[in-house]
Amino acid sequence: AWQGQGVGSQLLGAALEVADNWMNLHRVELTVYVDNEPAQALYRKFGFETEGRLRDYAVRDGVWVDALSMSRLRQTA
């Protein structure tokens, strides 16, 4: 019900702010199902890139589904 209202962008932006400026993380990674295209678009908007496909990653509704491994590397000056 929250999709399309900018909530994900606000939350991810806040999490990356903490990762970058409080925790000083160089790398943030995540896993997302291949059919969750809205989430993938959000992650790309924040600089995440696909690193690989995880075949038969999990069983969902009785069927094996693939996932993508994505990461974002913090750019340092």
DSSP string, 1-12: --TTTTHHHHHH
Domain extents for the chain?
7-73
**32-63 pLDDT tens trace:** 999 999 999 999 999 999 999 999 999 999 99
Mean pLDDT rounded to a whole number for the chain? 94
Q: Which CATH class is domain 7-73?
A: alpha beta
Taking residues 9-14, report their average pLDDT: 96
